[in-house]
Amino acid sequence: MSQQYDLIVVGGGIAGYHTALSARETNPDLRVLILSADRETTCSAPCLPDYIAGHIPRKNVFVAREETFREKGIHLSLGERVVSADPEKHTVTTDRERTLRYGALVLATGSEPIRLRRMEGTALPGNHVLKRVTDADALAKAPARRAVVVGTGAIGLEGASSLKERGVEEVTLVEALEWINPKCFDRAASDYMKKAFADIGVHVLTGEAITAVEGVDRVTGVRTEKRSIPCDLVLWGIGMRPVTDLAASMGVCLSKSGGIEVDAFMRTNLPDVYAVGDCTEPYDEFYQRPMANMLWRTATEQGTFVGTYLAGGDVPEEGYEGGKLLFLTYVGDAPACSYGYTEGALKGKRYTVLEDRQEDSYRKVLLQNHKIVGFQMVNTLEGANELYAQIRKGATVDLKGTDREEFIRFPEKYFAMSAYLRQMKM
Ligand SMILES: Cc1cc2nc3c(=O)[nH]c(=O)nc-3n(C[C@H](O)[C@H](O)[C@H](O)COP(=O)(O)OP(=O)(O)OC[C@H]3O[C@@H](n4cnc5c(N)ncnc54)[C@H](O)[C@@H]3O)c2cc1C
């Protein structure tokens, strides 16, 4: 006789944790089980760079200890991987040869770092990724003097800062594209970020792809199209891919880009099978279509939504409002933030650019048909919350007769701007 649970959650990351937590908080009678392939409890990945840098102790990266799960009445099995599922029988089978029955199944299987296995030298010791606490342990302990960090997404940017702060003497950040993170920033913002990196002693190379990792027994350098860079550590931050092997094997529909397709209630195409977090491709509230998101807040919100929904709690009638691709990272102490369209994304369309270039900080707002459609900031967050809120509301603004410089340089005029926007009755 297989054990029966009202809700089985596959994956003990933040999305799985919030699913289980909100289900139990909504209905304490539910039998809820989390099966997690990881041996450690839920950790805060955004805190891992701080741990590597030595700013916080290891214990502070965990969101909850095992006792917390027990106190909340959540059954938790660590180090137990679900290897198959039978949606008709409503069962999952694990690598401990246990078969368990579910009322509802939530796939929260997350994401994995992309690895360039076919590139020469990538299997040598000294190659690292950053996803789990154990990856951060390895980076924090690595006796490296020179590091190369590849890629300028959040992991590359924060990884480079944290290794430098940890005491690695030479850190070089390498990006194959023309400037830093073109998905979120235009060239000018990238130039300010390069300056912020230079201030903390990190060298940035853009428009230069890694072609091989050098070394015999372990990493001694990387080769790019233009040069060799000696190093004893390479951190690969070239993106994440959704973990969907279990979903695919049970017949769950995947999107073209590989994430699990879900509707506004996190339902997949199979009855009683839901999915949340990095493994999904949720509807995005800005772009108004499904988009890979892979951000903490979205994983947390999706988990909270589906846990509450499955336990019979109150959720909005129209479902989850959607993912939010708000990008916020730090170069040393300097924040870099973006939301909405970049100029790159608006290429070929008519739009207005407002820019505020100070010596150390940068702000840019993009407008299209009087609508605020994007912003980027480096080394300042003044006005970011307000702009974000106004974009989410679909706010419009008529710049005629407005002092554009006043508009963009909100520090203390930031409230004036929000009053101004309110006046405009968007
Ligand atoms: C270093 C780093 C820094 C980040 N910084 C930020 C940031 O500043 N801001 C931000 O918004 N986001 C950030 N992110 C992204 C954010 O952390 C993720 O979006 C979020 O953690 C995803 O959570 P998840 O639960 O969906 O997936 P995951 O954390 O990937 O968890 C998935 C879980 O599923 C388990 N699993 C997979 N398959 C199975 C199976 N078959 N059986 C059992 N268990 C299984 C895994 O072992 C894992 O426990 C960062 C990520 C990293 C790695």
How many Å lie between the centroid of ligand 1 and the Cα of residue 13?
Answer: 5
The CA distance from 348 to 385, in Å, is: 29
Q: Which two tokens stand for residue 336?
A: 């870099």
296 C-beta closer than 6 A to ligand 1:
yes
Give the pLDDT score at 382.
Answer: 86
Atom of ligand 1 nearest to the CA of 130: 1
As averages over each run of 10 residues, the pLDDT of the chain (426 residues) reads: 91 98 98 97 95 96 95 98 98 98 98 94 97 97 96 96 96 97 96 97 97 97 96 97 98 96 98 98 94 94 98 97 93 94 94 90 91 94 87 77 60 40 34
Ligand 1: atom nearest CA of 112 is: 30
The answer to whether domain 3-112+240-310 and domain 115-236 are alike in fold is yes
Considering only CA atoms, give the Rg of the chain. Answer: 23
Q: Are 148 and 127 contacting, i.e. CB atoms less than 8 angstroms apart?
A: no
pLDDT for the residue numbered 411: 30
Q: What is the pLDDT of residue 406?
A: 61
Can you tell me which atom of ligand 1 is nearest the CA of 278? Answer: 26
| Domain 115-236, CATH | 3.50.50.60
Q: How distant, in Å, are the alpha carbons of 171, 197, 200 from that of 161?
A: 9, 8, 8
The Å distance, Cα 63 to ligand 1 centre, comes to: 12
Domain 3-112+240-310 homologous superfamily, CATH: FAD/NAD(P)-binding domain (3.50.50.60)
CA distance 109 to 5: 19
CATH of domain 341-423: 3.30.390
Both tokens of 379, joined, read: 């080394």
Cβ–ligand 1 distance for 33 under 6 Å, the answer no
What pLDDT, on the 0 to 100 scale, is given for residue 425? Answer: 29
How many angstroms is it from 240 CA to the middle of ligand 1?
A: 10
**What are the tokens at 301?**
């919100």
Residue ranges per structural domain of the chain: 3-112+240-310, 115-236, 341-423
Scored b (16 or more CB within 10 A) or e, 221-244 reads bbbbeeeebebbbbbbbbebbbbb
Question: Atom of ligand 1 at shortest distance to CA of 297?
Answer: 11
pTM score, whole prediction: 0.93
In a mutational test of the pocket of ligand 1, which residue from 94, 243, 249 has the highest number of ligand atoms less than 8 Å from its CB? Answer: 243
Ligand 1: atom nearest CA of 94 is: 42
Residue nearest to atom 19 of ligand 1 (CA): 295
Q: Measure the CA–CA gap between 213 and 125, rounded to whole angstroms.
A: 11
